[in-house]
Amino acid sequence: MFCINCFHSSTKVTNSRPHKKRPQVWRRRICSECGIAFTTYERISLSETKPIYLSSGEKESFNLGKLTLSISKAFTHATHDAEYSSFWLAQTVEDTLSTQYETITTENIEAVTHAVLKNFDELAAVQYAAQHRLISSTKRRRGRPSLREHEPLIRESPSQ
């Protein structure tokens, strides 16, 4: 690993621990050239470990960038979250998929993404579900009819 300060190619790992809840490893490193200490997190890349089975039956590698863009499209109401939270939410989805599923399908990805978004932002979850056709509305509008279709309910009295 190279140093983040002086870009020297040799660093020494002084401490390393696996994360308790996520499939990642925390490492404390020290540069042998400038002496700066820094922390790195190593994660399992889903794109290299498990193929994604599409609904057509084809295999594809996991694409974190594609998932990040899909999540950011659900945040039309909150541009800040679209810009800053989409990547971290996509990583959460990737971690969940890598630990909970042996074989991963597009339906698994959609379900886990919807669940993660529901915990983070209810409206984004609804928008994501609508974009991916996870929900559909079959309700018809009931109640009072539109006033444009019928004559006015209150009639004006003739002027005197």
Same-domain pairing of 37 and 90: no
- Which token pair is 38? 């820094």
DSSP string, 85-132: THHHHHHHHHHHHHHH-SSEEHHHHHHHHHHHHHHH-HHHHHHHHHHT
Please give the pLDDT value at position 132.
86
| Domain around 93 | 46-131
Which H or E run includes 41? strand 37-43
137: in domain: no
* Statement: residue 135 has pLDDT above 80: no
Same-domain pairing of 30 and 52: no
Q: Residue 57 in 3-state DSSP?
A: coil
Same-domain pairing of 94 and 57: yes
| Average pLDDT, integer, range 73-82 | 88
* Statement: residue 29 has pLDDT above 50: yes
Q: Whole-prediction pTM value?
A: 0.67
158: in domain: no
The number of C-alpha atoms within 13 Å of 103 and in the hemisphere containing its C-beta is 5
Please give the pLDDT value at position 117.
94
Same-domain pairing of 117 and 52: yes
Same-domain pairing of 95 and 29: no
| Average pLDDT, integer, range 3-29 | 88
